[in-house]
Amino acid sequence: MELTELNINVYDYKEFSSHKKIGDGGFGSVFKSEWTNAGLTVALKSLEIGTEKRALMRELQFLQRVAFHPKINHFYGITEDTSGSYNIVLQFANDGNLRDYLDRNHLKLQWDDRFRIAKEIAQGLVFLHDNNIVHRDLHPRNILVHENKMIIADFGLSKLMTSNISSPSNSSSKQDGIPAFMDPQVFKIVDPPYRCTTKSDVYSYGVILWEISSGRKPFSLLKRVQIAIQIYNGEREKPIEGTPPEYVNLYVQCWDDDPSKRPDMKDVYDSLNQLIYKPTDYQVDMKKPLSRLLERAFLEQSLNYYEYNTFSDHIKIESGFSSVYKAKCKSLEATVCLKCIRVDEYSDELIVEEFIEKLLFLQNTDFHSIIKFYGLTKDPSSQYYSMVFQCVDGGNLRDYLMENFSKLQWSEKLKFAIEIAEGLKYLHKNKIAHCGLVRIFINESYLISYFYLIIH
């Protein structure tokens, strides 16, 4: 069966130019290209067509019929490149995918923005489910952002490349996806194997809601197999401080282990609309020791506090459990580093008081081998506090050694060791342990940075 027999739009490869590789997928390479005849920038995704060509062609025809929705990545047709490989022609999203978008914009997003993002994704899913389509591989990298609007992508591609395609509504249990977003039922050994349904997408969507609220990927410190075990055992990520309780309740319902207890996407969409139009002021619970005691320290002016809107031009320079951003601070007239602190809001009051005491000590520290700590700020969207540090542009010790090791004399190496030792001696004298001595930066001399506050 040929493409033309199924009325799939086929374009001459010569219509496309300026190919730039932008990624690799499970089905082939992805190129950003200019579609000359249409005056559009598009994405070309290569496909390896095997023995299931007939079924694949039917699926492509189906994609062409449904990919007109504003929240679905537009499928324009197919083209055959010079090597004989087929490429599907898709809408190009100029803002990348949702995960990268959150990385760049998390600090600037207000709750109204997060509700809008969640709602737009829900709109696309409602449309897919109304057309009996199960995405089966829904995660933030399969949600594209075009001019700040969300569009769902790759809802057919993972299914297209399986060997048991029989119809557009096929819902095979095969799901080689990202474990944190996979329906827990997939990990269970049952006979017959669990077949993914629309409720599997609802589970994935619930995890996406959590990532929208946190700005970081779930279980970021665990490996794939560890994540799968955690999910199988019923573990889920904890709510982010400052998240509206109705929003938390919604994603908790979505990621319920029992598919029958998960809401339909139409119900999820309705719940989001109620949240969007409900005038609620989401404030942190001041009964928690950390917030209450920090606020008191700010009011007493013993601990420096910087309004979050004094920081601009945020650039993420380190990910992981505690993200680090480089930013410009108007009030300090300097470039600084913002390091998010993860502290249990419900810690014992004495522990919190000791923690604040350490912060005050660091704030008043002016030691040549220690990075300067200016004070704290608070992200109004996530409700997390961040430590404001001196920003050092000279790079870290490891990179410096890699570039200059062959040129260094022993006298210079000894000088470096002494400067680092002086900084550690100063910290230990004041009962502060670094607990991970890898943050040493270069700025004319060697500065110890990002140490942890350990209460002795």
Report helix angle 289-299 to 349-363, nearest 10. 40
Are 132 and 168 a contacting pair, CB within 8 Å?
yes
142-200 per-position pLDDT tens digit: 999 999 999 999 875 545 444 343 333 344 444 445 899 999 999 988 878 888 899 99
Q: How far is CA 65 from CA 7, 62, 99, 131, in A?
A: 10, 5, 28, 11
Contacts of residue 416, Cβ cutoff 8 Å, sequence gap at least 6: 397, 446
The predicted structure's pLDDT at residue 84: 84
Are 358 and 453 a contacting pair, CB within 8 Å?
yes
The predicted structure's pLDDT at residue 241: 82
Domain map (residue ranges) of the chain: 3-91, 98-276, 289-448
Q: Provide the 8-state DSSP code for 141.
A: G
Helix intervals (H) in 373-409 = 397-404
The predicted structure's pLDDT at residue 434: 53
CATH topology of domain 3-91: Phosphorylase Kinase; domain 1 (3.30.200)
Give Cα 408 distance to the centre of its chain.
40
**Residue with the two structure tokens 């190919």:** 19
Q: What CATH number should be reported for the domain whose range is 98-276?
A: 1.10.510.10
Answer whether 3-91 and 98-276 agree in fold: no
**Nearest one of 178, 174, 237 to 209, comparing CA atoms:** 237
Q: Provide the 8-state DSSP code for 193.
A: P
The predicted structure's pLDDT at residue 402: 82
CATH topology of domain 289-448: Transferase(Phosphotransferase); domain 1 (1.10.510)
The predicted structure's pLDDT at residue 291: 67
Residues, the chain, total? 456
Residues of the chain with pLDDT under 50: 1, 51, 158, 160-176, 283-287, 321, 435-456
The predicted structure's pLDDT at residue 176: 45
The token pair that represents 317 in the structure block: 């320079």
Report the alpha-carbon distance of residue 303 to residue 388 in Å, rounded.
12
Report the alpha-carbon distance of residue 53 to residue 3 in Å, rounded.
10
The predicted structure's pLDDT at residue 440: 44
Q: Is 294 helix (H, G, I), strand (E, B) or coil?
A: helix
Report the alpha-carbon distance of residue 91 to residue 346 in Å, rounded.
47
How buried is 246 (Cβ within 10 angstroms: 0-12 exposed, 13-18 middle, 19+ buried)?
A: middle
The predicted structure's pLDDT at residue 435: 44
- The response to whether 159 counts as a known ligand-binding position is no
**Nearest one of 150, 163, 6 to 77, comparing CA atoms:** 6
Contacts of residue 433, Cβ cutoff 8 Å, sequence gap at least 6: 427, 451, 452, 454, 456
Can you list the pairs that 261-266 forms with residues at least 24 positions away whose Cβ atoms lie under 8 Å? 262/199, 262/202, 262/203, 262/206, 263/202, 264/129, 264/198, 264/202, 265/122, 265/125, 265/126, 265/129, 265/198, 265/201, 265/202, 265/205, 266/126, 266/129
Is the bond leading into 239 cis (omega within 30 degrees of zero)?
Answer: no
Q: Is 314 helix (H, G, I), strand (E, B) or coil?
A: strand
The predicted structure's pLDDT at residue 154: 83
**Residue with the two structure tokens 């040929």:** 2
